[in-house]
Amino acid sequence: MKNTLLTKEGFEKLTKQKENLLNIRPEAVGELKRAREMGDLSENGFYKGARAKLSQIDRELRKITYLLKNVKIIEKSKDTEKTSIGDTVTIEGEGNILHLTIVGEEEANPKEKKISYLSPIGRGLLGKKVGDKAEITTPKGKISYLVKKIE
């Protein structure tokens, strides 16, 4: 079994998501029961929709339960000299300044500027110090980033 690496924040978010799914599941079961009582299931769109909704909830619950069962919470390192999982890193490259947080793969979200430690940029930044250059190979080619700040 592979451990799922999560920050404490990611673990709490996933736990809360599981609780929310467990709270809405009984309602979805009730909708499915009401749809069955309507009669002919072969032409009952309400039944098909309710069944799909319940299946989606159950699929998400199985995934989250598996992840939480195999989780390893990564504590933010007290060493702010080198980048590690949980750090927010300010980098500069190609005329851009980026503020990225390095997280576990299950909590990565580019819209929130959270990148997986397994991504090309995440891998390239791990272990770097302020002032280090990170040479990162991306689909666009090699990019060089300068580490400006580690929080």
**Domain map (residue ranges) of the chain:** 4-73, 76-150
Give me the phi and psi of 2, to 5 degrees please: -90, 130
How far, in Å, CA of 108 to CA of 4, rounded? Answer: 12
How far, in Å, CA of 23 to CA of 41, rounded? Answer: 26
Domain 4-73 has CATH 3.30.360.10: no
What does the pLDDT profile of the chain (151 residues) look like in tens digits? 578 899 999 999 999 999 999 999 999 999 999 988 887 777 778 888 999 999 999 999 999 999 999 999 988 777 678 999 999 999 998 889 999 999 999 999 999 999 999 999 999 999 999 999 999 988 888 999 999 999 8
User: CB of 74 within 8 A of CB of 5?
Assistant: yes
**So what's the pLDDT on residue 108?**
95
DSSP letter for 76, please.
P
Q: Is pTM beyond 0.75 here?
A: yes
User: CB of 89 within 8 A of CB of 149?
Assistant: yes
Contacts of 20 (CB under 8 A, 6+ apart): none
Q: Enter the CATH code of domain 76-150.
A: 3.10.50.30
**So what's the pLDDT on residue 1?**
59
Other C-beta atoms closer than 10 Å to the C-beta of 7 total 21
Residue 88 structure tokens = 């927010």
Alpha helix stretches (DSSP H) within the chain = 8-36, 45-69, 120-125
